[in-house]
Amino acid sequence: MQQGGPAETARSATAYADAFTARVAGRTATIGIVGLGYVGLPLARAATAAGFRVLGFDIDPAKVATLNAGGSYIGHIPPDAVAAMRAGGGFEASAAFERLAEADAILICVPTPLGIHREPDLSFVTGTSEAIARSLRPGQLVVLESTTYPGTTREVVRPILERGGLRSGDGFFLAYSPEREDPGNAEFGTAAIPRVVGGDGPEASRMAAALYGAIVDRVVPVSSPETAEAVKLTENIFRSVNIALANELKLVYGAMGIDVWEVIEAAKTKPFGFMPFYPGPGLGGHCIPIDPFYLTWKAHEYGVATRFIELAGEVNVSMPGIVVDRLAEALDRRAGRGLAGASILVLGLAYKRNVDDLRESPSLRLMELMEARGARVAYHDPFIPEIPPTRKHASFAGRRSVPLDAAALRAPDAVLVATDHDGIDYGFVAREARLVIDTRDACGRAGHSGPTIVKA
């Protein structure tokens, strides 16, 4: 695109934004979504339901084939939902990234994991940005949704997109809108969760607000992409810090013989000034175990210490080891044996209840630690019949869930409740198992206690 003087540039940007918002209002805009996982696929479903044509892009040809055949690989998005998306040509999946030129808006929903030294790994973001840059055309809106540190959108994504000669705010438009998915939450689906948007310039902000306003119930505009990036980190750091506090209180009150779950249940009756957070065996999922480290890494660039955030991270990271120590202690005291050679059944492999999501699950770390100390470990999870390949725990791939029956509960030396899925009868578990190590108070909430149930 040829660039003219300031007035011409302003008119061009305004014209592009006007045309884009008109297509959004008329539902003639095509939305491209890159990354069809736990964020991208629910977003594609919501956008299709709002009347848009959606092109979904993924590097995994198996996912593309499954979706185009009307199937699903995510538990809380059933195949009939994908079939409904496909009906009438509203949704199509593709691995042909040159088709990004067909989209009026491109939403980036790719992973942002941590490296081996807990540094940000933006390889998926940069790779996707390079793919977009190869077919970027005037007037397109590009929105990064992946969780990251403040500055990523303008410092990392924008330079890549501008390599072809188009400029953000003139030839194309760039924004950040953090995903807020909560897999398995029946009350808050994609459309019901407000969307924060921060654009690289006023027209980008207007375009992003119009787009998300057509998909979700409420849009919350902020002044910049950096502010929007900080919003997502703040939300998850808030949870990380408060979960770490609950975990530390569990240790302190446990040493005093006080049940932290009972304390929290009583404390949350206060109608103001308190919000309940619960201890557990460690953090899991795609956000809370990762996001705080994105901010601490970026803060070093500014010479700012993040001691409070890092301490919370240390507490949460230490929890699997503490749970395994409690398990070993309980085996010694109640069964007269050590962890080496013991048989352990882990209940729940997913990182949270009632989902099939294994990302950063503390259950995998628990299994790793127990086996390193000589235990024989099996698991039961109704949502994960077989462990898929994972980056950190490749050796577990292919291991299958065992049936949960009386024999499976009586045979092991201990049953470790790691994820409290609703479909499990914890009364049955409490009655049949020789020893229960309960990291979620699942048995207590079901009204069961006794000498064979140890809260950890």
Q: Which residue has the tokens 């964020």?
A: 39
Count, residues in the chain: 456
Q: How many CB atoms lie within 10 A of CB 224?
A: 18
Angle between helices 79-86 and 61-68 (to 10 degrees): 80
How far from 289 is each of 145, 240, 281, CA to CA, in Å?
Answer: 18, 8, 13
Q: Which residues contact 389 (CB under 8 A, 6 or more apart)?
A: 397
Instruction: Round to whole Å and give the CA distance between 36 and 60.
Output: 9
Q: Report yes or no: 407 and 386 within 8 Å, Cβ to Cβ.
A: no
Q: Which residue has the tokens 């892009």?
A: 57
Instruction: Round to whole Å and give the CA distance between 42 and 64.
Output: 15
Both structure tokens of 266: 């009583």
Instruction: Round to whole Å and give the CA distance between 77 and 163.
Output: 38
Nearest alpha carbon to residue 18 among 300, 206, 175: 206
Q: What is the CA radius of gyration of the chain?
A: 24
**287 part of the active site:** yes
How far from 111 is each of 144, 164, 339, 363, 433, CA to CA, in Å?
Answer: 11, 25, 36, 21, 39
Q: Which of 41, 287, 369, 435 is catalytic?
A: 287
428, with CB counted inside 10 A (0-12, 13-18, 19+), is middle
Known catalytic residues?
A: 287
